[in-house]
Amino acid sequence: MSTSQGNEEREHAAYDFAYVQEKWLPVWDELTPFKSGRADDARPKKYVLDMFPYPSGDLHMGHAEAYALGDVIARYWVQKGFNVMHPIGWDEFGLPAENAAIKRNEDPRIWTYENIATQKASMRRYACSFDWDRVFNTCDPEYYRWNQWLFLKLHERGLAYRKDSAVNWCPGCQTVLANEQVVAGLCERCDSAVTKKKLNQWYFKITDYADRLLDDMQQLEGLWPDKVLTMQRNWIGRSTGANVQFVIEGRSEPISIYTTRPDTLYGATFMVVAADSELAAELAAGTTADKDFKAYVEKIKADSDIDRLATDRPKSGLFLERYAINPVNGEKLQIWASDYVLADYGTGAIMAVPAHDQRDLDFARAMKLPVRVVVETGEEDPSETGIATVGDGTVINSGSLNGLNKAAAIAAINAQLEKDGLGKSARNYRLRDWLVSRQRYWGTPIPIIHCEKCGEVGVPENQLPLTLPDAAGLDLKPKGTSPLGAATAWVNVKCPKCGADAKRDTDTMDTFVDSSWYFLRYPSSTNNDEPFARKDIDTWLPVDQYVGGVTHAILHLLYSRFFTKVLGDMGMLSFNEPFTRLLNQGMVVMDGSAMSKSRGNLVRLSDELAHHGVDAIRLSMVFAGPPEDDVDWSDVSPSGSVKFLTRAWRLSGDIASAPGVDFTKGDVTLRKATHKALNDAGIAVETFRFNVAIARVMELVNATRKAIDSGCGPADPATREAVEAIAIMLSLVAPYTSEEMWERLGHKPAVARAGWPTVDPSLLVDESVVAIIQINGKIKERIEVSPSISDADLEKQAMAHPVIVEELKGATILKVIARAPKLVNIVINS
């Protein structure tokens, strides 16, 4: 630590950030100001969590922003006297590591652990307020054994199951993908066009939780960004309607269709079944249409998702030469097969009401099928305009439903169908079960043994973790089947139940399994007896504040919510939403677009840190604008941040009073500025307006500079109070500078634990305020009044003011609005 003489020597030197960084890091290592959960810690808890990184290289600008923002929140609550747990770990399984391993021809662990070491060192230098004692790696067996344990628990509960299904297949990665990992028909990892493949795969039954995932979002209202809640609602996509039974000529069983518009049942003019469904194949079998049908199915199989998603795609289909009977009027309806009906939604069959559904109308017009209007909406005839009338109206041509509006007709027809045993109300979801198996090496092995006699047998718990076979000797290149299959010594085992020869499941789990419960692990990160201890969970969870990118709005957050509910049902925890508050930070872009090497606009974090120092980069990130907005690095000025920090730092060398001086004896004007800044900055931080909080600190720095140079002077206690407040507020964004200031002010480290000064409410009120006097909304005069003046007194003063009296001469006063102590508005006719 510097001597006072050393301080003097440095007094007028420029602020040397490199020196200061090197100076304080070892001190903080020693003091561990952010260690959470000491046994004797009586402070109330606060769990602040940043989304954990993937170790794909060194930290980049995006990390710098995210961690700067998360750190403001974590450090603020520490200053406010909370026992803050702010942990970090690494999310390591997945394709980047595996692809790097293939390229380098080595074990993915090597690349992974190298990158972790790099990132960890960068985080330490970046002065993140992480609790380093809680770190874990998801690729360590000590972690992923609990993925396996959870998988087995889900399997026991029927929530993990295998089925044959047409799944998303990425030809680039040579693996299946979850629905959530297909973005606009492309693989989210490698941008290959995703195709369909019929495979037997593992699923988690997230659809069982669709209603709870939807309904529990009510409690997140106002605490999560609306955008994320909307995206999740859309993704789950609950729709309500009815299933209706249609008798089929020549078939013993009726076909059930799903519709959201049972009120238009009389308007059904044909039926459509999904061309790729078993139902379609069965209906076509034996008819003269069968040959054409098979050809049609082959044709649509060749279409990629991209083709299917094209908006102007013409409708295609084929008449199956079969007929259905409309249950309400006995009409004979043609049954068609088409790819615009999805096999895995609803029942895979629909009644087509072309007058009131655009897709059905497009199809009817293409195939020359009849259109019948059964809802009078006042719009033109759909069969002429080609535009279906989908809105509300009066039901016509519909027997007993005639004259009703949409809602009444739906209620009436549902009741009638139910009574006649022909249908009942139903719900459907866009959400599909979560496909969790992957045909790749670098993931958690699925802990299932396949036995010819016993079927799927879970690996006994006492044999967990089931570790990955050594990568050496395995060909990791993607080839459509798991590389684990080649590890014969690993694959061939005895059935734990019957002892017969059996084989291990060779697929690995989707890496999103790892991150779906990791936030539960931090409080128990060193516990090797269970995934998490109930006592720790009850102490720390749920997460009070989660910070991360909006890219995870659906995937990770939905899966985490699902896991939380499942674990709740298992009695392992007692809350139903894992993340109480969520902040989505924006991205860091350059010249308006995402940074990339190929675009040539990549800014290297390490370069920025070398040029401007950690504090200036953190400050620039936080001050750039509202946290949820993108930061355009070409708009921010790290050198401006350096300038401000230097200016603040210099104040600390100018203070002439001693630590502990009685602030109440200080200059009132500056004291008011200090307390207002503390008050406003605190509110701004709590409402995520960090840029505003910094503006308040800048104001106080300016006011203090002025007070020292030409006001109450450096010896006044108020200047010390102000600079100490600045150091504490600045500690949220500029840990090095503020620590240095704190020392120069005569205090011992760490400023991070100094405590947010208590705001004196009496210093927040002004003795007098300026009230404005308006006539017809235009400002005519300003007067100084007491802040506690009454409306009546303010009005009296305003009306008596000479300027106003003059203005009002000859006018008729219509109304006077007084809003003490801010303004009086006199309305006159002019």
Partner RNA sequence: GCCCCGAUAGCCCAAUGGCAGAGGCAGAGGACUUAAAAUCCUCCCAGUGUGGGUUCGACCCCCACUCGGGGCACCA
**Residue 65 or 339 having the CB closest to RNA:** 339
Q: Does residue 628 come out as left (phi exceeding 0), alpha (psi in the -120 to 50 range) or beta?
A: alpha
**Residue 412 or 828 having the CB closest to RNA:** 828
813 near RNA, judged by CB under 7 A: no
Min dist. Cβ of residue 182 to RNA (A):
9
Min dist. Cβ of residue 426 to RNA (A):
10
**Residue 567 or 826 having the CB closest to RNA:** 826
Contact indicator for 402, 396 with CB cutoff of 8 Å: yes
**Residue 161 or 340 having the CB closest to RNA:** 340
* Distance in angstroms between the alpha carbons of the first and the last residue of the chain: 73
Q: Shortest CA distance to 534 belongs to which of 547, 520, 546?
A: 520
636 near RNA, judged by CB under 7 A: yes
Task: Specify burial of residue 265 (Cβ count, 10 A radius: 0-12, 13-18, 19+).
Answer: buried
Q: Is the dihedral of CA 525, 526, 532, 538 positive or negative?
A: negative
227 near RNA, judged by CB under 7 A: yes
811 near RNA, judged by CB under 7 A: no
**Residue 534 or 706 having the CB closest to RNA:** 706
549 near RNA, judged by CB under 7 A: no
Pairing between β-strand 769-775 and β-strand 823-829 as defined by DSSP bridges: parallel
**Residue 308 or 796 having the CB closest to RNA:** 308
**Residue 368 or 778 having the CB closest to RNA:** 778
Stretch that binds RNA, among 126-134, 257-265, 321-329, 524-532 (CB under 7 A): 257-265
φ and ψ at 792, to 5 degrees?
A: -65, -45
830 near RNA, judged by CB under 7 A: no
340 near RNA, judged by CB under 7 A: yes
233 near RNA, judged by CB under 7 A: no
Contact indicator for 731, 79 with CB cutoff of 8 Å: yes
**Residue 44 or 626 having the CB closest to RNA:** 626
What 8-state DSSP symbol labels residue 153? H
Q: Whole-angstrom Cα distance, residue 356 to residue 371?
A: 9
Which of 219, 329, 776, 790 is close enough to bind RNA by CB under 7 A? 776
Q: Whole-angstrom Cα distance, residue 790 to residue 821?
A: 7
829 near RNA, judged by CB under 7 A: no
- Touching RNA, residues 733-772 (CB under 7 A): 770, 772
- Touching RNA, residues 28-57 (CB under 7 A): none
**Residue 200 or 234 having the CB closest to RNA:** 234
Min dist. Cβ of residue 708 to RNA (A):
10
Q: Shortest CA distance to 556 belongs to which of 509, 508, 514, 588?
A: 514
Q: Shortest CA distance to 622 belongs to which of 608, 636, 643, 634?
A: 636
Min dist. Cβ of residue 802 to RNA (A):
19
Min dist. Cβ of residue 438 to RNA (A):
21
Min dist. Cβ of residue 558 to RNA (A):
12
Cross-strand pairs, 434: 204
Q: Whole-angstrom Cα distance, residue 326 to residue 498?
A: 54
Contact indicator for 615, 22 with CB cutoff of 8 Å: no
643 near RNA, judged by CB under 7 A: yes
Length of the chain counted residue by residue: 830
Which of 325, 572, 692, 811 is close enough to bind RNA by CB under 7 A? 692
Radius of gyration of the chain (CA): 34
What the block records as the tokens of 34 is 């952010």
639 near RNA, judged by CB under 7 A: yes
Q: Shortest CA distance to 62 belongs to which of 590, 557, 560, 512?
A: 590
Which of 694, 734, 750, 804 is close enough to bind RNA by CB under 7 A? 694
Taking residues 378 to 417 in sequence order and writing x for each that binds RNA by CB under 7 A, - otherwise, the string is ----------------------------------------
Which of 192, 397, 463, 637 is close enough to bind RNA by CB under 7 A? 637
603 near RNA, judged by CB under 7 A: no
Crossing angle between the packed helical segments 605-612 and 61-79, to the nearest 10 degrees: 60
Q: Whole-angstrom Cα distance, residue 596 to residue 272?
A: 47
Q: Is the dihedral of CA 21, 25, 27, 31 positive or negative?
A: positive
- Touching RNA, residues 156-195 (CB under 7 A): 183-184
Q: Shortest CA distance to 196 belongs to which of 339, 18, 333, 32?
A: 339
- Touching RNA, residues 9-28 (CB under 7 A): 14
Stretch that binds RNA, among 190-198, 622-630, 749-757, 788-796 (CB under 7 A): 622-630
Encoded amino acid at 572, one letter: M
What the block records as the tokens of 224 is 């999560």
205 near RNA, judged by CB under 7 A: no
Stretch that binds RNA, among 112-120, 190-198, 538-546, 701-709 (CB under 7 A): 701-709
**Residue 252 or 829 having the CB closest to RNA:** 829
Min dist. Cβ of residue 267 to RNA (A):
11
What the block records as the tokens of 348 is 């895979």
Q: Whole-angstrom Cα distance, residue 235 to residue 697?
A: 42
711 near RNA, judged by CB under 7 A: no
**Residue 204 or 258 having the CB closest to RNA:** 258
What 8-state DSSP symbol labels residue 594? E
Q: Cβ–Cβ contacts within 10 Å for residue 830, how many?
A: 8
635 near RNA, judged by CB under 7 A: yes
256 near RNA, judged by CB under 7 A: no
Q: Whole-angstrom Cα distance, residue 53 to residue 66?
A: 10
Stretch that binds RNA, among 110-118, 577-585, 700-708, 745-753 (CB under 7 A): 700-708
Min dist. Cβ of residue 380 to RNA (A):
17
Strand blocks (E) in 663-822: 769-775, 778-785, 812-819
CB proximity list for 25: less than 8 A, separation 6 or greater? 124, 125, 127
Q: Which residues of 44-76 are buried (b: 16+ CB within 10 A; e: fewer)?
A: ebbbbbbbbbbbeeebbbbbbbbbbbbbbbbbb
Which of 9, 629, 686, 766 is close enough to bind RNA by CB under 7 A? 629
**Residue 34 or 224 having the CB closest to RNA:** 224
Q: Whole-angstrom Cα distance, residue 421 to residue 243?
A: 11
Encoded amino acid at 200, one letter: N
**Residue 351 or 459 having the CB closest to RNA:** 351
Stretch that binds RNA, among 227-235, 380-388, 472-480, 494-502 (CB under 7 A): 227-235
The C-alpha angle 168, 169, 174, rounded to 5 degrees, equals 155
Stretch that binds RNA, among 130-138, 321-329, 447-455, 628-636 (CB under 7 A): 628-636
Helix or strand run (H / E) with residue 704: helix 690-710
- Touching RNA, residues 258-317 (CB under 7 A): 258-261, 274, 308-309, 311, 313, 315
Pairing between β-strand 778-785 and β-strand 769-775 as defined by DSSP bridges: antiparallel
Which of 241, 531, 542, 653 is close enough to bind RNA by CB under 7 A? 241
Q: Tell me the site size for RNA, rule CB under 7 A.
A: 80
**Residue 507 or 680 having the CB closest to RNA:** 680
Stretch that binds RNA, among 129-137, 197-205, 565-573, 694-702 (CB under 7 A): 694-702
Min dist. Cβ of residue 206 to RNA (A):
14
Q: Whole-angstrom Cα distance, residue 78 to residue 739?
A: 15
Which of 43, 189, 197, 689 is close enough to bind RNA by CB under 7 A? 689
**Residue 412 or 827 having the CB closest to RNA:** 827
Which of 141, 640, 711, 757 is close enough to bind RNA by CB under 7 A? 640
791 near RNA, judged by CB under 7 A: no
